[in-house]
A and B are shown apart, each in its own frame.
Chain A
Amino acid sequence: MTDQTRIRNFSIIAHIDHGKSTLADRLLERTGAVTGREMREQLLDTMDLERERGITIKAQTVRLDYQANDGEKYVLNLIDTPGHVDFSYEVSRSLAACEGALLLADAAQGVQAQTLANSYLAIEAGLEVIPAINKIDLPAADPDRAAAELVSILGGDPEHVVRMSAKIGTGVDQLLETLVSDVPSPKGDPTAPLRALVFDSYFDAYRGVVCYVRVVDGYLDSGESLRFMATKETHDADEIGYLTPKALPVPRLGPGEVGYLITGVKEIDRIKVGDTVTVARIPADEPLPGYGEPKPMVFSGLFPTDGDDYEKLREALEKLRLSDASLLWEPETSKALGFGFRVGFLGLLHMEIVRERLEREYDLDLVATAPSVAYRVIMPDNEQVEIKSPQDLPEPNDRNGIAEPYVKAMILTPTEYVGPIMELATSRRGIVGNMNYLSPERVELDFEIPLAEIVFDFFDILKSKTKGYASLDYEPADYREGDLVKVDILLNGQTVDAFSAIVHRDNAEDYGKKMTGRLRGLIPRQLFDVPIQAAIGGRIISRETVKAKRKDVTAKCYGGDISRKKKLLSRQKEGKKRMKMVGSVEVPQEAFVAALKVDDES
């Protein structure tokens, strides 16, 4: 146990690739938490996917012992945060457990929208934000410009900004000293009843649910009977300890300390992240301020290619949820794709990651439908009903209107791209608001835009229009009624539910033309002509035809070479298994997503 005055709890806020994980590695090394032999690149990113993509999905936590220049020993608890827009709720969790945040910006790229948004979160949460610039060793580094940007966001003196290179180790010592001197120590009440914040949890196959906790007041003792104030459940503290980063059991965690707690609970649903833990015998009166549960914003249907894998998919989702409590789903039936699930995601990256994990870790072959958002349908009695799939939209006569979710979006961009971005935003029904200049070269653009307009390809187009320099962040705003219609796509006269989409009336015709045109290119020729139509209600708004295949024969079986011919055709037949039958039309799986992919418009 450590005296509060010697504890510094902090997070690192950084954009993807700005070197957060490398810095974390360097801190582990410098403080001796990990020996050289144990050192793996980016130790804190444990999931394979995290390592491969260089992003952090789950927050990680580590306790560092540091002998400062003042001769005292300090404990630095680093609470790592995810760096992507989809995972900002995890950032709030981490920040709630800290007194300080390190804002790390790339010396060449400067501050990005995500980092800026997270810095605002940290400032609002009352944290001391410490600016630092990383990668000063890069040839393209412009630390002065990056420092000026940081100062324009945080105020203060550019001279006070830590300049470092986590890669080669420059400035790491200065950073450690700054953390000790600038991050406030915790100010918990040791005499009050225990209040500890559960700021994260994960499922361990052997130990069950492992909670990450930050003790605010009082003491958390091993063996104590604990009360979880939100779930109102009581569990024993089977084991508590520090994360060094290996689990190191200790008998007690005191105020200001960060560690883990194992209660023997096996079901992750029974532990609520954000809950306050207190002692059952003498409970605290008031829980700590928690935070809202993450709300899925993007929905997509996931269907097994092989209908027999439905149960396997369900089991895989259930297992995945053990480590990702934000994952929500309900069964969905599609005439085109059979039985599957409507799955809610925090955002597009989250969707991509979940799908990839399902396919990779659970050996599933999936068809994912185009992502959509949750609409609120205003019924004839003015009641509002939420729908997560275009299929569920009532007929025009059975509804009074449709409201759709808007987000507040923020784009950080070099000023030269303001024009193209405005154009993009307005073409997507965005309402442009403020412009704040961070520096003469960089500007923050705020606007409100329907979420549906950005869920699919907005980010890709933004990147291509700005040569990759602009960054985007968004947060939910409100629901607004719009002139929305459902466009159906018919293949050979039959509606393909998986292709139905809710779009603004002004865009419906373009959408229909685009879809029928793309599908014409994606659907292989069949034994008969296949008409592809887009329709609003019964009205056809566009039509294309995939002409019947006329030649599908290899002319010669030379010298009676039957076996080779059979092998060739069997291989082709295998290829056809990746097709979904829609009525009597064979549709390649890729078509379900590719039909909505970004193309020439960018």
Chain B
Amino acid sequence: MTPEVADSFVDTAAAYVHIPFCSAVCPYCDFAVVAGRDDLVDRYIDALVRDIVMSEPWLPLEAIYFGGGTPSHVDAAMLARILETLDERHGIADNAEISLEANPEDFSAERAGVFNRIGFNRVSFGAQSFDSDVLVSLGRRHQGDQIDAALHAAREAGFENVSLDLIYGEPGETSQSWVETIGRAIDLDPDHVSCYALTVEPGTPLGRAVSDGAAAPDPDTQADRYEVAERLFELSRYEVSNWAREGFECRYNLTVWAQGEYEAYGNGAHGFRDGCRFRNIRHLDTYLDAVERGQQPHAGADAIDGWEREVDRLFVGLRRSVGVALGAGTRALLDSDDGRRLLEAGVIELDDSRLRIVRPMLTDAVHRSVLGLQPSIVSDKSDA
């Protein structure tokens, strides 16, 4: 993917729809999710519809992402209602990417067909691993061969854009097991793969276990795993944790990273519209109450303008392999002590037109240096 194409997503109108329901909550998960509350699904879908109708009409959507939770956990008909509402409110562009996050165990041949018919054209499976011990440790409820079956069902149903999510660095995972997981994934020939390092989030069951003395993921081991993934996948990496066949990069994600705008619906969803980053109420019942009272369910918003918009551009854009175009922000970074050190240590790289992170496993170090950057006064003067 060329830098120009990647940056062009700044003009894309996208939308994120959050489905919080799961059959069980995975111990490492700290997203806005619930298990055992399926009695609320109907009310929630009604609320989502109202949430969408309350938003200002916008451009036809070119990328729609159903995330969760487990969107595949609810009836396809309900998701179809959401898509219809989005189409009525904003319109959906002809060639729009419409993504569904799905758990392998939910993806029978029959349901795959329904999801495809109602409009989804991309599916992203929460595969996580092909090693049964690792799957158990991660609290997943499927086996490796169910991933194979789900992927075949998706292909059979006509999905031409299929992605697998993998998690590495679970303390019980061995180097061998990770290599095998990647091998099994490659055999399935997905169009897109996301590999995430298992992260211990405070407040989760995993977080509590680790603070009580359970083994935590080892950062060096995770770095090793990442290097293995980098070496084995033939897909090309276009973001810190994402690999894709050319042309199959996730357009919703590309929009986020190009500083494009996206609507957000559902509890705990985050959006960016009209220059403002906003977040919805995270607690499910509170979200429902707000929407049912006819209130926009926003919990907070930050206007991103002026210098902050430039810092924000770097913040999101540097996650991509194409990096960011040079500008006031990159100049300020390179003028800072932090920036000079990052360059010297070979974490970032500079050419005539772009600044890139070349050691993606150190992305947060770059991000910390970007946050709080001030406009570079000396350079601005020399420009004038």
Q: Which residues of A contact B (CB under 8 A)?
A: 526-528, 548-566, 569-570, 572-573, 576, 581, 584
Q: Which residues of B contact A (CB under 8 A)?
A: 16, 18, 31, 65, 67, 195-197, 199, 219-220, 222-223, 226, 240-241, 256, 262, 264, 268-272, 277, 279, 300, 302, 312, 315-316, 319, 337, 341-342, 344-345, 347, 360-365, 367-368, 371-372
Given A553-B197, A553-B362, 15 further pairs, Cβ under 8 A: A526-B345, A527-B342, A548-B345, A552-B362, A553-B361, A553-B363, A554-B364, A559-B31, A560-B264, A560-B270, A562-B312, A563-B277, A570-B368, A572-B364, A581-B337
Residues of A within 8 A of B222 (CB): 551
Residues of B within 8 A of A560 (CB): 16, 256, 262, 264, 270-272
A462, B316: Cα distance in complex, Å: 56
A553, B270: Cα distance in complex, Å: 20
Residues of B within 8 A of A549 (CB): 219, 362, 365
Residues of A within 8 A of B344 (CB): 584
Cross-chain contact A551 with B226 (CB below 8 angstroms): yes
Known interface pairs A550-B361, A551-B223, A569-B371; A556-B241 also in contact (CB < 8 Å): yes
Residues of A within 8 A of B363 (CB): 552-553
A549, B262: Cα distance in complex, Å: 34
Known interface pairs A559-B270, A560-B256, A570-B371; A527-B362 also in contact (CB < 8 Å): yes
A91, B360: Cα distance in complex, Å: 64
B316 (CB) vs chain A CBs: closest residue: A562
A528, B345: Cα distance in complex, Å: 6
User: How many whole Å from B238's CB to the nearest CB in chain A?
Assistant: 14
A28, B269: Cα distance in complex, Å: 68
Partner of A552, one of B268, B272, B361: B361
User: How many whole Å from B288's CB to the nearest CB in chain A?
Assistant: 19
Cross-chain contact A555 with B241 (CB below 8 angstroms): yes
Residues of A within 8 A of B372 (CB): 570, 573
Residues of A within 8 A of B368 (CB): 569-570, 572-573, 576
A47, B185: Cα distance in complex, Å: 69
User: How many whole Å from A401's CB to the nearest CB in chain B?
Assistant: 42
Residues of A within 8 A of B345 (CB): 526-528, 548
Cross-chain contact B256 with A557 (CB below 8 angstroms): yes
Known interface pairs A556-B241, A562-B312; A551-B270 also in contact (CB < 8 Å): no
User: How many whole Å from B313's CB to the nearest CB in chain A?
Assistant: 11
User: How many whole Å from A523's CB to the nearest CB in chain B?
Assistant: 15
Residues of A within 8 A of B367 (CB): 565, 569
Known interface pairs A550-B361, A560-B264; A527-B347 also in contact (CB < 8 Å): yes
Q: Which secondary structure dominates where chain B touches chain A?
A: mixed
Cross-chain contact A561 with B364 (CB below 8 angstroms): no
Cross-chain contact A554 with B371 (CB below 8 angstroms): no
B259 (CB) vs chain A CBs: closest residue: A562
A163, B222: Cα distance in complex, Å: 69
Known interface pairs A550-B361, A570-B372; A563-B240 also in contact (CB < 8 Å): no
Partner of B319, one of A557, A558, A581: A557
B279 (CB) vs chain A CBs: closest residue: A563
Q: Which residue, of B347, B360, B365, has the highest number of chain A Cβ atoms within 10 A?
A: B365
Residues of A within 8 A of B270 (CB): 559-564
Cross-chain contact B362 with A559 (CB below 8 angstroms): no
Residues of A within 8 A of B240 (CB): 553, 555
A527, B364: Cα distance in complex, Å: 12
A527, B256: Cα distance in complex, Å: 28
Q: What are 25 A-B pairs with beta-carbon distances under 8 A?
A: A527-B341, A527-B362, A527-B365, A549-B362, A551-B226, A552-B219, A553-B240, A554-B364, A555-B197, A555-B240, A556-B199, A558-B31, A559-B31, A559-B264, A560-B262, A560-B272, A561-B270, A562-B256, A563-B270, A566-B371, A570-B368, A570-B371, A570-B372, A573-B372, A584-B341
Cross-chain contact A551 with B220 (CB below 8 angstroms): yes
User: How many whole Å from A367's CB to the nearest CB in chain B?
Assistant: 19
A560, B344: Cα distance in complex, Å: 31
Residues of A within 8 A of B67 (CB): 558-559
B311 (CB) vs chain A CBs: closest residue: A566
Residues of A within 8 A of B31 (CB): 558-559
Cross-chain contact A559 with B277 (CB below 8 angstroms): no
Cross-chain contact A550 with B219 (CB below 8 angstroms): yes
B165 (CB) vs chain A CBs: closest residue: A556
Cross-chain contact A562 with B277 (CB below 8 angstroms): yes
User: How many whole Å from B195's CB to the nearest CB in chain A?
Assistant: 8
Residues of B within 8 A of A526 (CB): 345
User: How many whole Å from B32's CB to the nearest CB in chain A?
Assistant: 9
A575 (CB) vs chain B CBs: closest residue: B368
A551, B217: Cα distance in complex, Å: 11
B270 (CB) vs chain A CBs: closest residue: A561
A558, B196: Cα distance in complex, Å: 11
Partner of A561, one of B199, B219, B241, B279: B279
Cross-chain contact A559 with B16 (CB below 8 angstroms): yes
Residues of A within 8 A of B360 (CB): 553
A566, B300: Cα distance in complex, Å: 15
User: How many whole Å from B342's CB to the nearest CB in chain A?
Assistant: 7
Cross-chain contact A551 with B342 (CB below 8 angstroms): no
A252, B195: Cα distance in complex, Å: 88
Partner of A566, one of B220, B315, B361: B315
A555, B223: Cα distance in complex, Å: 12
A557, B256: Cα distance in complex, Å: 9
User: How many whole Å from B273's CB to the nearest CB in chain A?
Assistant: 11
A560, B219: Cα distance in complex, Å: 24
Cross-chain contact A552 with B226 (CB below 8 angstroms): no
User: How many whole Å from A553's CB to the nearest CB in chain B?
Assistant: 4
User: How many whole Å from A395's CB to the nearest CB in chain B?
Assistant: 32
A561, B270: Cα distance in complex, Å: 5
Residues of B within 8 A of A584 (CB): 341, 344
Residues of A within 8 A of B199 (CB): 554-556
Q: Which residue, of A555, A565, A566, A569, has the highest number of chain B Cβ atoms within 10 A?
A: A555
Residues of A within 8 A of B300 (CB): 563
A576, B368: Cα distance in complex, Å: 10
Partner of B219, one of A551, A565, A566, A570: A551
A554, B300: Cα distance in complex, Å: 23
Residues of A within 8 A of B268 (CB): 559
Q: Which residue, of A550, A552, A560, has the highest number of chain B Cβ atoms within 10 A?
A: A560
A561 (CB) vs chain B CBs: closest residue: B270
Known interface pairs A557-B256, A563-B270; A550-B220 also in contact (CB < 8 Å): yes
Cross-chain contact A552 with B341 (CB below 8 angstroms): no
Residues of A within 8 A of B271 (CB): 560
A563 (CB) vs chain B CBs: closest residue: B277
A590, B45: Cα distance in complex, Å: 53
Q: Which residue, of A548, A554, A558, A572, has the highest number of chain B Cβ atoms within 10 A?
A: A558
The 7 closest A-B CB pairs, nearest first, are A550-B223, A527-B345, A555-B196, A551-B219, A553-B363, A561-B270, A560-B256
User: How many whole Å from A558's CB to the nearest CB in chain B?
Assistant: 6
A528, B219: Cα distance in complex, Å: 16
